[in-house]
């Protein structure tokens, strides 16, 4: 194994809120001759919403896989808070169409969780009721999972991630297949959750418009980290404009304007961090 994630085990409870839940340091990964991630670093704190944006093939899913421990980088490391519990909402899942399984059963599956170290326990029924109610999926519980719509499936997958009582919620394109009203509601709900439950949230999104409104920190990835920081400042930055073009309402629009040379080479792979005022700081 090229790399092993390390737990941080030397911090007291009182300092836990100030240290990151997860930290990636100088990650590099190639598939054959193709370098997919180059010197990528990030960190996520409790109650923080961080959104990863970037064009198709930018390495977003690959980065998530490394953070989730499913892929090993060639170099660099991931440092996790001790006993970090991660709830993951995938973009989509494949379920055998012939498998007899209700939504309720699907939610219960695999939820014998490890929480706070050594104690193993089932998910809490109170939590099941709470999240079923808050995500409005009660009417689906007895339905076969294969028959739900795309938007309903997204809410079910989110409920399933929340039932793990995560410290860190990782969402891969959570609003895919969700209508506009549903998207706004979902982001408002995530915002409510991070305050109420203290979760840190990392999501991948292709919807710049919504990302800008509902996130604390944006990370623009194009195999290397082009720029990061407060959404407003990032959206005004040259690095962001170079990456996403002038029309930044949606990445789909912008992708056609994407000039890889601009982002990849003109800034020498520097990572620019921008604060709320637009002040920039070059990171390694």
CA pair distance 37, 28, nearest whole angstrom: 5
Nearer to ligand ATP, 56 or 192 (CB): 56
String of contacts with ligand ATP for each residue 34-63, x by CB under 6 A: --x-----------------x-xxxxxxx-
Q: Whole-number minimum distance, CB 153 to ligand ATP, in Å?
A: 18
- φ/ψ region of 117 (left if φ > 0, alpha if ψ in -120 to 50, else beta) reads left
CA pair distance 260, 266, nearest whole angstrom: 10
Which residue, among 179, 169, 205, 183, has the nearest Cα to 91 in the 3D structure? 205
Q: String of b and e for 102-120 (b: at least 16 CB within 10 Å)?
A: ebbebbbeebebeeeeeee
Q: Whole-number minimum distance, CB 23 to ligand ATP, in Å?
A: 20
CA pair distance 145, 37, nearest whole angstrom: 36
Nearer to ligand ATP, 36 or 89 (CB): 36
Q: Whole-number minimum distance, CB 133 to ligand ATP, in Å?
A: 32
Q: Whole-number minimum distance, CB 52 to ligand ATP, in Å?
A: 9
Nearer to ligand ATP, 34 or 277 (CB): 34
* Residue 149 DSSP SS3: coil
Nearer to ligand ATP, 135 or 210 (CB): 210
String of contacts with ligand ATP for each residue 62-101, x by CB under 6 A: x---------------------------------------
Interface with ligand ATP: number of residues (CB under 6 A):
10
CA pair distance 121, 114, nearest whole angstrom: 7
* Residue 4 DSSP SS3: coil
Which residue, among 235, 243, 234, has the nearest Cα to 273 in the 3D structure? 234
Please pick, from the candidates 12, 14, 15, 31, the single residue that binds ligand ATP as defined by CB under 6 A. Answer: 31
Q: Whole-number minimum distance, CB 233 to ligand ATP, in Å?
A: 23
- The residue ranges that bind ligand ATP (CB under 6 A) are 31, 36, 54, 56-62
């Amino acid at each position: 194994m090229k790399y092993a994630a390390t737990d941080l085990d030397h911090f007291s409870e009182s300092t836990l809120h100030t240290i990151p839940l997860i930290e990636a340091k100088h990650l590099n990964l190639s598939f054959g001759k193709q370098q997919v991630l180059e010197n990528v670093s990030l960190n996520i704190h409790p109650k923080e919403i961080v959104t990863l944006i970037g064009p198709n093939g930018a390495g977003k899913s690959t980065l998530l896989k490394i953070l989730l421990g499913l892929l090993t980088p060639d170099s660099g490391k991931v440092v996790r808070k001790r006993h970090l519990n991660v709830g993951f909402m995938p973009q989509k899942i494949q379920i055998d169409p012939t498998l007899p399984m209700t939504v309720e059963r699907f939610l219960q599956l695999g939820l014998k969780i490890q929480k706070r170290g050594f104690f193993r326990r089932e998910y809490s029924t109170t939590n099941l009721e709470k999240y079923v109610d808050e995500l409005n999926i009660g009417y689906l519980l007895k339905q076969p999972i294969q028959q739900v719509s795309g938007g309903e499936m997204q809410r079910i997958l989110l409920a399933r991630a929340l039932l793990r009582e995560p410290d860190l919620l990782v969402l891969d394109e959570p609003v895919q297949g969700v209508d506009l009203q549903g998207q706004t509601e979902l982001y408002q709900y995530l915002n409510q959750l991070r305050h109420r439950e203290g979760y840190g949230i990392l999501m991948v999104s292709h919807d710049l418009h919504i990302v800008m409104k509902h996130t604390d920190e944006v990370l623009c990835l194009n195999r290397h980290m082009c720029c990061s920081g407060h959404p407003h400042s990032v959206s005004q930055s040259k690095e962001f404009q170079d990456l996403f073009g002038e029309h930044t309402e949606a990445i789909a629009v912008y992708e056609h304007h994407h000039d890889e040379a601009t982002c990849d080479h003109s800034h020498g792979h520097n990572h620019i961090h921008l604060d709320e005022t637009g002040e920039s700081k070059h990171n390694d």
